[in-house]
Structure 1
Amino acid sequence: MGNWTVRLKKGGITLVAAFVLMTTFAGPQSWHVYAAEINADIPQVIEKASPSVVAIIGKPSSEVDKTLEKNRFNLAHGTGVIVASNGVIVTNAHVVKDMKNIVVVTSEGTTYRGHASNIDEESDLALVKIDAVGLQPATFASSSDIKVGETVAAIGTPISFALRNSVTVGIVSGLDRSVSSQYQLIQTDAAINPGNSGGALINMKGEVIGINTMKYADIGIENLGFAIPVDTVKYVLKHFELYGKVKRAYTGLELEESWEAVVGLPSMAGLRVDYVDADSPAAEAGIEQDEVVVSIGSDSVQTLVDYNEAIKKYLPGQTVDIKLQSGSATLTKSVKLGELHNTEATLTEDADGSSLDADSGKTKIGDSHFGWSMKYPAGLVKRQQSDDGDSISFVDAKGEFALSIRIASDQSDELSPAALLTTIAGEDDSDYSSYGNSATVLERQYVKRAEYPYAKVVSRSGEDGYIQTRGYLHGGRLYTVQLFVTKEQYTNRSKQNSYNDLLDSFKLAFNTGDNSLKDISVFNSDDVTYTSEYGLSIDLPAAWEQDYHGSTSFYNDEYSQSLEIHVTSASSGDTLQNWVDREVDMFEAQYTADYRRVDKPVEATVDGVPAWQVDFASSLGDEWFAGRSLFFIKDKYKYEVRMTYPKDEQDDELEKMWDNVVASITVDKETMDGELGFIQDLNELADPDRTALYKNEKFNYTLRIPENWTTNRSYDGNDQATKSFSFPGGYLRVEADNKSVYTEVVKDAEEELKKSHTSDSDYSYSAEDVTLFGDVKAKKYKVSYSKAHIPYTETIYLFNRKQVTYTVTLRTDVAVSTAANVARLNKAFDSFAFVNGTESGK
């Protein structure tokens, strides 16, 4: 006998089976009969199951880009399975979690409004409810009856909503799969595509054996889909019915899989206890780190999926025996289970209006701020819009044309027709002109329309592109409207008439009382609210922007004013006064008295808690920068909101803005990132005098440098010839030269100093011979430049050791030449030591 594989392809359905060839050759004959029966049964099976499968469509919700919700063509869809005749439908959590305006369509085409009633992201299952009666619920199989190799069919809504209740057929490829899920999954080669999520995987009895959830989509990967097994579906549905959510047992264990389990090899190693939460059920039961979990109740566990499958059999409050391996001993410990409190998914509310079409009833489109409007064809899709709305582009849903509108301000209305035509001719250097290397003008004219005259240029770009550009002058603005079509569309007379009709509808007016007119203006002069992961919300002027997405730094449009938010944890025993005193002391320690100012803290109230406001200013000798910080403590976190700006920009308008910012601040503990822990305030631990050893092995010296100084090296990471150690307003720099003659280096340095003094008498210096490190002869130069853009002083040392010339520069701006800064700088230099010598200045 031998193993054979037969592939039968009928009607686009491929059936694959492995069988044993018997000496009587009865096997193949039986297989053909069986395959024919299966093919004959499939239509009846689908006919039985399909009424229980529905298509789900809705509008995706986005906290990042709210414009997505307003795009009538931006829709999301999936599939669901009816589980109760009164309109209860199970689907994937990822299908409906962020879906608004849900619409459910049954297999015969009846449409219902729906809403997500329950969501469980851990299992990726959810319920959708529609107002209906007499629906046909699906019949669920038993997981124990599912066999690898049995024929199955997937029913769903792949790719497009127009393809709802599509059927693909395959086999069960595997059971107990662990792929991006807490629980086991069914593997199938039945085609599962985007939109199939939430649909039914059925057996040849028409019973649901799983809910389709995902597929592998990568180059070279085919027919690799997965479904949530029916027993997990039943488990979740039961919890939804009894508790409104899935109640999961909590042990307090963090477990680690063996290497074999991670890579998919069979493993009998169990799960190592990586961590035990304090005061958790596991801790109370005496389970300790590094013990190995062997079984949960009667279920042995080797993987995290095994563990989750076993623990889901128990409810919070129940007691379970956990067998563990501790060294050579086997232990059993009884754990009274707690409840796992995962962050529950927030059910998405419907968008404004109940229609799936966000633009229902809108036949015109325009911008109320820039004052234009035009017809709104059903297929017009907004592609891109600038932040202020002065540039916007559209495409046709069928890909037949593209349209752009650009508004340029500060344009004279007295521009002549010839000048206007010349101006808009340059607009052919647009995104669309890339379709050809040069544009051939086909038409150019000034159209004298009574209400809205315009300049018009039609050109051919390359072989396939045609561009019509229209320019309008109105109210000191140039409105440029540009249409791009392909040659096929341009030469179609009826199409060309429809495009011209669209362009002719463009008006330099916006009727706010017209309910059929959709306003796409994004211009905003009001404050914008920003919310951070730390629960803090704050309003800033619309013109201000975040430094980058997720940053807590903000800038005005000229980047001259900034606002930063700093959040740290309040240490035990710390107070608002102690915190503010530390910050003021640190600021004053950075600058000498003539170059800083700190006002006395002013008491305030922020979101119901005490706060202190501190005004400050500083300068390095040229421009003064001012600012103010607001300090407050709430919900165990310390918040500092700091605004800085050039001192000469401080005026009543800035004061008003600051007052509005402070009044807007709120802290909501519920919106904090659930994973936030203790955030150490580094200023509490900072020691400006603590040093770390730097060793330059190439040039044989060491230094002890304050650890809060920054280190800069030359562009070549392997070149240690130049090394700088910086702090705000100063640095220590070491330049090592093993190629030049020491006397020549000294000569060049002195010539440079003399040259600087000759060109500017405010640049002064002195020179002397000194001995360093006990026996090293050196040159010492002291430089002072009091009239510089930023006044500074320098001490420069030149010395030679074993054919290496060292130039060490100690520089401080006068503004930061505090006794402490100067002492640290000198101490760092005094620590200079040769590697084969004795370190000094420890």
Structure 2
Amino acid sequence: MTKFTMLSRKVAHATASAMLLAVLAAPVAAYAGAADDRGAIPAVIEQTTSSVVAIIGKPADNRKVWAANRYNLAHGTGVIVRSEGYILTNAHVVKDMRNITVVLADGKSYTGKTTHYDEESDLALVKIEATGLTAAKFASPSDIKVGEPVMAIGTPLSFALRNSVTYGIVSGMDRAVQSKYQLIQTDAAINPGNSGGALLNMKGEVIGINTLKFVEYGVDSLNFAIPVNTVQHVLDHFFKYGKVKRPYLGVELGESWEAVVGIPSSNGLEVTYVEPDSPAAKAGIKQGDVLLAIESSPTGTLVQYNEALKNYLPQQKVKLTLKSGGTQRVAEVLLGEDESSATSLVRDADGSYIDADQGKTHIGDSYYGWSMKYPAGLIKKEQDSDGQSVSFADAKGEYAIDIEIENDQSADLSPLGLLRKLEAQHHGDTILEKRYVDQKSDPYAVIVGKSSYGGQMYQSRAFLRGDKIFYILLTVYSEEMYNNNFKRNSFNDLLDSFLLSYDEKNAGLKDISVHQSTNTILTDYGITFDVPADWSTNGWGSSLSYQSEEADKGLVVSVTSASSGDTLKDWSTRDAENFTRKFVSDYRKASEPRETTIDGVPAIEMDYAFTMGDKWQYMHAIYLIRDKYKYGMVLTYTDESNKKSIDELAESLKASVHFVKDSANRSLGVIQDEAELSSSSRTVTYTSKKYRYAVKAPEFWYGGYERDKDPIVKSFLFQGGGMTVTSDDSGDLQGKFTALEKEYKKNAEADSAYTYKTSDEELFGTSVKKFATQYKSRNVPYTQEDYVWEKNGVAYTARLRINDAVKTDEQWKLLNDTLRSMAFTEK
């Protein structure tokens, strides 16, 4: 498959022979006259290698169940650009890297921190606390020529191969390859791990930063670097502004067929979309126009367009040459600022050191209550979702350990029974030792054997505790190694360290339990957060909801687009006003808004409560606006005694919230906030063809949009009430009236507090019988009115019901207006 690949490297532990094989298999670049330069290479390397560093870290992994392999590391290369510890590398090197360690050419290592990041150019800065470093020298962009000899310095394949040097030429300039900007092409061999390394000329000057290689069977030495002019442009912005300030036009552009396939073209870029109120819109640029040039720079391709914009800053004026129809014209545009490319990285660091398990001498499971020694070479490979099975491997590939927990065993299982259960797991193997070790603490059954499948040696132990059997299996892949006294003693020491206990106070004990207190939720909306691990999830669309096992607590997260000019204060005030308008004052409570900050983003918190007359429902609402999206987070609970735990949960939720631009789905677009479109004055017409009526219901009620069905019973509902229409095309008006009268009388006989009135009214041009009551059911007071009438051979019943909690003047009027909006047609 043809593809370009970034040159950072994610590696698990590999044997030296495997790495050597990979190096020997790499293509070697050569060209005529190359030998003339080789005498100068050692001197150039000696001059420049101290400016090139290796960067290593842990791959970012938000999955808490599957803990990262401690030897599963990511690495790349960097170039020192300032002597006080600023190192330039590729953005893709540090994008998914945490616990960064930087190693200089002399072997000294430092903890690193990403300080500047720009994904558009694929460049980033890492800072280490060091001074007196040797900063690289940059070549003049005009001095770079096709055919000149170059060297690449980097960390290919393995961190152990840092500061490797390869040799080649500049194969091409101004290449447009999977990049926003132009790249340098070279045949100097560069491989995964070279990302961020230096491409040098024979003066020892940096002409580019290695970033991509072309990968396809049969294709060799097709590699690319970010040219020095782009590098210097980005560095200048990093140190001046803290980010790359990019101008913004507000247009989407399409390339011509020639540009797409790489044929030189002067056709320009077609404007396929113009954002409202954008600089382009204000300058009169319209869809269908063709952009030919920015000032004097032609724009035949998107890369040319981006290269041209590099020369300008936001708030500068530029002249655009456009073709509209058959006419060419010049438009002056005041450039805006593109905020979409600004990216902040979120670090979920387990510590400052690259090995997050440093200082952990033991490993165990707090939920199942076991622990054992944790040698530096041990790697957790797999763990099932309930934590009852976990496997480890030695980094050198010498041995493996498997732990398995079997439930529902007899608590009085005898030593013989335990030994037989253990033996059954190794049926067909050569058993070399089998016994029961009746020690004071944690007695166990043990079998030493040789596998009938691969000939590996193993030692298997079984422990009984309560209704669970704990099996621990050591597999040694070499019989010779197992029989080595020194090795066997170390294996036995490891097995002897297995205990059916877990010491919470031991800071050196690493907990691998999958039964954690929280789960991290990764979304397509650019936001991550934690919820309690035992909460279940549901939800759809742009809403995500979670609830506790008892369903007494929950969280709803909604994401919608922020309208132009909308503010956090306006949004929360609007929400509070809607809440106040919905409930009668005695049935609602609302706190004053409180300003806070979440992940560096301003936020507002409010508490709401409402009741229908029985139990109160409580809500803790959080409002955030970030990157043109509104994030609403509402914690719900049903018992005021839970207020303290909800406050603690809210603090935990706020602390867990992170906005990660890279996590947002690339197709994420406008998500309309329906509340901004909704109005109590707007209605939707529902028509029943079969029962020959139409009704205009408020559009924010439920049920008005179901137009394709003709149910006998049709409801139009809102929180705490609604209207239900029942139709009978048999025309049995008396039957409807009798059934309704019987229902009311039965309720009155059952409870003396239940009273009702009947009356006759004129509605819809006919006589209508009305039943009305005000009652309290399960402490929920409500008003109910039933209307019965016949029209054009159809008998209708309309029931209006509304809880007193939401019986505001506005809502009651809407309910009655909906009834009176009914219209009827003849056959």
| Matched residue, 2:230 | 232
Which of 652, 672, 697 lines up with 1:679 in the alignment? Answer: 672
Residue 217 of structure 1, CA deviation: 3.3
* Partner SS, residue 153 of structure 1: strand
Does 2:290 correspond to 1:300?
no
Q: What are the residue-to-residue correspondences of 1:680-695 with 2, within 5 Å?
A: 680-681=673-674, 687=684, 689=686
In 1: Cα distance, 2:513 partner to 2:404 partner: 13
CA contact (8 A) 1:156 1:199 kept: yes
| Matched residue, 2:239 | 241
Q: What are the residue-to-residue correspondences of 1:628-777 with 2, within 5 Å?
A: 634=623, 671=659, 677-681=670-674, 687=684, 689=686
Q: What are the residue-to-residue correspondences of 1:501-520 with 2, within 5 Å?
A: 501-520=493-512
Which of 462, 474, 491 lines up with 1:471 in the alignment? Answer: 462
Which of 525, 531, 537 lines up with 1:546 in the alignment? Answer: 537
| Matched residue, 2:404 | 406
Letter in 2 for 1:679: Q
Residue 118 of structure 1, CA deviation: 1.8
CA contact (8 A) 1:627 1:643 kept: no
Compared CA separation, residues 579 and 566, structure 1 to 2 (3 A): farther
Letter in 1 for 2:497: S
CA contact (8 A) 1:599 1:614 kept: no
Which of 474, 482, 487 lines up with 2:473 in the alignment? Answer: 482
Does 2:178 correspond to 1:175?
no
In 1: Cα distance, 2:135 partner to 2:151 partner: 17
Residue 162 of structure 1, CA deviation: 0.4
CA contact (8 A) 1:405 1:479 kept: yes
Residue 237 of structure 1, CA deviation: 1.4
Structure 1 vs Structure 2 CA RMSD: 4.8
Which of 333, 336, 342 lines up with 1:335 in the alignment? Answer: 333
Letter in 1 for 2:440: A
| Matched residue, 2:151 | 153
| Matched residue, 1:764 | none
Letter in 2 for 1:258: S
Which of 422, 426, 439 lines up with 1:449 in the alignment? Answer: 439
Q: Percent same amino acid at aligned positions?
A: 47
* Partner SS, residue 502 of structure 1: helix
CA contact (8 A) 1:536 1:666 kept: no
| Matched residue, 1:52 | 51
Residue 163 of structure 1, CA deviation: 0.4
In 1: Cα distance, 2:560 partner to 2:553 partner: 24
In 2: Cα distance, 1:465 partner to 1:729 partner: 72
In 2: Cα distance, 1:379 partner to 1:668 partner: 32
Residue 200 of structure 1, CA deviation: 0.6
In 2: Cα distance, 1:670 partner to 1:363 partner: 32
Letter in 2 for 1:689: Y
| Matched residue, 1:206 | 204
Question: Which segment is superposed worse, 238-247 or 409-418?
Answer: 409-418
Question: Which segment is superposed worse, 182-191 or 536-545?
Answer: 536-545
Q: What are the residue-to-residue correspondences of 1:309-320 with 2, within 5 Å?
A: 309-320=307-318
CA contact (8 A) 2:383 2:390 kept: yes
In 2: Cα distance, 1:56 partner to 1:63 partner: 21
Q: What are the residue-to-residue correspondences of 1:818-837 with 2, within 5 Å?
A: none
Residue 306 of structure 1, CA deviation: 0.5
CA contact (8 A) 2:346 2:660 kept: no
In 2: Cα distance, 1:158 partner to 1:63 partner: 27
Residue 323 of structure 1, CA deviation: 0.8
Residue 365 of structure 1, CA deviation: 2.3
Q: What are the residue-to-residue correspondences of 1:584-603 with 2, within 5 Å?
A: 602-603=588-589
Letter in 1 for 2:492: N
Letter in 1 for 2:436: Y
CA contact (8 A) 2:56 2:100 kept: yes
CA contact (8 A) 1:691 1:707 kept: no
Question: Which segment is superposed worse, 454-463 or 291-300?
Answer: 454-463
Letter in 2 for 1:477: K
In 2: Cα distance, 1:40 partner to 1:522 partner: 59
Question: Which segment is superposed worse, 526-535 or 281-290?
Answer: 526-535
Which of 266, 269, 292 lines up with 1:268 in the alignment? Answer: 266
| Matched residue, 1:837 | none
CA contact (8 A) 1:154 1:202 kept: yes
Residue 177 of structure 1, CA deviation: 1.6
In 2: Cα distance, 1:643 partner to 1:219 partner: 57
* Partner SS, residue 365 of structure 1: strand
Which of 370, 373, 376 lines up with 1:372 in the alignment? Answer: 370
1:701-736 residue CA offsets vs partner (Å, 9 max, x unmatched):
xxxxx996699xxxxxxxxxxxxx899999xxxxxx
Which of 438, 462, 483 lines up with 2:453 in the alignment? Answer: 462
In 2: Cα distance, 1:42 partner to 1:641 partner: 64
| Matched residue, 1:523 | 515
CA contact (8 A) 1:533 1:671 kept: no
Letter in 2 for 1:543: D
Compared CA separation, residues 841 and 256, structure 1 to 2 (3 A): farther
Letter in 2 for 1:171: I
In 2: Cα distance, 1:689 partner to 1:520 partner: 57
CA contact (8 A) 1:324 1:331 kept: yes
CA contact (8 A) 1:602 1:613 kept: yes
In 2: Cα distance, 1:206 partner to 1:503 partner: 55
1:81-107 residue CA offsets vs partner (Å, 9 max, x unmatched):
122333322111222244333322222
* Partner SS, residue 40 of structure 1: coil
CA contact (8 A) 2:100 2:353 kept: no
Does 2:472 correspond to 1:500?
no
Residue 635 of structure 1, CA deviation: 6.2
Compared CA separation, residues 536 and 162, structure 1 to 2 (3 A): closer
1:609-660 residue CA offsets vs partner (Å, 9 max, x unmatched):
666656799xxxxxxxx9979697956969596989xxxxx99999998898
In 2: Cα distance, 1:439 partner to 1:599 partner: 78
Residue 291 of structure 1, CA deviation: 1.2
* Partner SS, residue 479 of structure 1: strand
Compared CA separation, residues 372 and 245, structure 1 to 2 (3 A): same
Question: Which segment is superposed worse, 323-332 or 236-245?
Answer: 236-245
| Matched residue, 2:133 | 135
Q: What are the residue-to-residue correspondences of 1:243-258 with 2, within 5 Å?
A: 243-258=241-256
Residue 148 of structure 1, CA deviation: 2.6
In 1: Cα distance, 2:689 partner to 2:448 partner: 71
| Matched residue, 2:800 | none
Question: Which segment is superposed worse, 52-61 or 408-417?
Answer: 408-417
| Matched residue, 2:37 | 38
TM-score by length of 2: 0.68
* Partner SS, residue 180 of structure 1: coil
CA contact (8 A) 1:46 1:206 kept: yes
TM-score by length of 1: 0.67
Q: What are the residue-to-residue correspondences of 1:212-223 with 2, within 5 Å?
A: 212-223=210-221
Letter in 1 for 2:674: D
Q: What are the residue-to-residue correspondences of 1:540-619 with 2, within 5 Å?
A: 540-547=531-538, 552-554=544-546, 565=557, 602-605=588-591, 608=594
| Matched residue, 2:822 | none
Letter in 2 for 1:85: S
In 2: Cα distance, 1:663 partner to 1:110 partner: 41
Question: Which segment is superposed worse, 439-448 or 225-234?
Answer: 439-448
| Matched residue, 1:751 | none
In 1: Cα distance, 2:185 partner to 2:251 partner: 29
| Matched residue, 2:816 | none
Compared CA separation, residues 413 and 178, structure 1 to 2 (3 A): same
In 2: Cα distance, 1:370 partner to 1:667 partner: 29
1:243-285 residue CA offsets vs partner (Å, 9 max, x unmatched):
2222222222222222222232322210112222333322332
Residue 302 of structure 1, CA deviation: 0.8
Which of 106, 109, 126 lines up with 1:108 in the alignment? Answer: 106
Question: Which segment is superposed worse, 667-676 or 447-456?
Answer: 667-676
CA contact (8 A) 1:547 1:553 kept: yes
| Matched residue, 1:126 | 124
Question: Which segment is superposed worse, 293-302 or 400-409?
Answer: 400-409
Unaligned runs of 5+ in 2: 1-23, 595-604, 691-702, 715-729, 731-784, 795-824
* Partner SS, residue 82 of structure 1: strand
Which of 142, 145, 157 lines up with 1:144 in the alignment? Answer: 142
* Partner SS, residue 313 of structure 2: coil
